[in-house]
Every structure is written in C-alpha cells, then in structure tokens.
C-alpha cells in the first residue's frame, strides 16, 4: 500500500511540473497518448512527430514507465549558409510522460517502436500460473 501512495505522489508532482513548465516557459509539449489493454498485453501509442529516433528515451524504473524526448536547435545549419531567420515559430521543445504499470505488466519484455511520428510500446502481461491438479490416492 505504501508503494502505491509513493507512486501516486510521484506522478502528481511530475504532472504539476509539466503544468508549470508549459504555463511559464512553454518549451514543453505533452504528447497525446492512447493506452489499450488486450488479452495478452497493454499497448501505449504516443503522438510525438518531429523527434529523431535517437532523441526518444523509454525506460522503466520502480514499475513506472517513463517516456521522454528532446528536439535540437537547427541554428548550425543556418550559420553555415550565412542565413538568418526572418520568422521562427517552431520551438525547441522537450517532453516527459510517466505511467504506473499494472501489477501484471511484464516490464522485462517491453518493446518500443517509432514510425511516422507515433511511438508504440507493447507491454506483455505476465503469464499466470495455471492451477495444477494433483490426484490424491486413498489406500
């Protein structure tokens, strides 16, 4: 029970951090996420278009799934060509999302793929042990 309270408090603090970051400096964007439960697995799909594959990080710590990404500034390319921006509306941004995993999630077998701006994470469920029938012989 104490683990759930700690996890809840941790997620609440991260949500508040995201809110303050987005309100005051608007350099973070929070990707839209869909989470589905199937018979054998959970699937998370996040819309994170515009990020390079190597800029996306997915990891599990203390049964919490973390997803983050960071865009890089494009100024070096403009300096080489001796060009300056006339208008720049696209911002360099980063994001981080965290999700508590269900108890039956097998975090050791988690798989992530990124294609066409969508991050897909497949989290298999742990295989439940089937009850074993034992025949009792009476002599």
> How distant, in Å, are the alpha carbons of 13, 74, 92 from that of 85?
37, 11, 14
Picking from 112, 17, 10, the residue whose alpha carbon sits closest to that of residue 61 is: 10
Q: Is the pTM of this model over 0.75?
A: no
Q: How far apart are CA 83 and CA 1, in angstroms?
A: 58
In DSSP notation, 98-126 reads EEEPPTTB-GGG-EEEEETTEEEEEEEBP
Sign of CA dihedral 22, 49, 47, 101: negative
What's residue 113's pLDDT? 96
Q: Where are the alpha helices (DSSP H) in the chain?
A: 2-24, 75-80
Residue-level pLDDT at 80: 61
Cα–Cα distance list, 65 to 4, 44, 60, 62, 84 (Å): 15, 10, 4, 8, 40
pLDDT of residue 9: 73
Rounded Cα–Cα distance for residues 10 and 54 (Å) = 27
Confidence (pLDDT) at 77: 54
**The pLDDT of residue 104:** 93
- pLDDT of 56: 94
pLDDT tens-digit profile, the chain (139 residues): 445 567 777 777 777 766 665 555 554 568 899 999 999 999 999 999 888 888 999 999 999 999 999 877 665 555 566 777 788 776 667 889 999 999 999 999 999 999 999 999 999 999 887 788 888 888 7
């Amino acid at each position: 029970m104490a683990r759930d309270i700690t996890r809840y408090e941790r997620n609440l603090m991260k949500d508040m951090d995201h809110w303050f970051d987005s309100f005051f400096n608007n350099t973070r964007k929070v990707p839209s996420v869909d989470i589905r439960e199937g018979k054998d697995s959970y699937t998370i799909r996040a819309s994170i278009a515009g990020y390079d594959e190597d800029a996306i990080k997915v990891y599990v710590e203390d049964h919490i799934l973390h997803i983050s990404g960071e865009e890089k500034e494009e100024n070096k390319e403009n300096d080489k060509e001796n060009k300056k921006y006339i208008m720049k509306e696209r911002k360099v941004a980063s994001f981080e999302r965290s999700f508590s995993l269900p108890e039956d999630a097998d975090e050791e077998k988690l798989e992530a793929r990124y294609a066409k701006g969508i991050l897909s994470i497949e989290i298999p469920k742990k295989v439940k042990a089937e009850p074993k029938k034992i025949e009792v012989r009476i002599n």
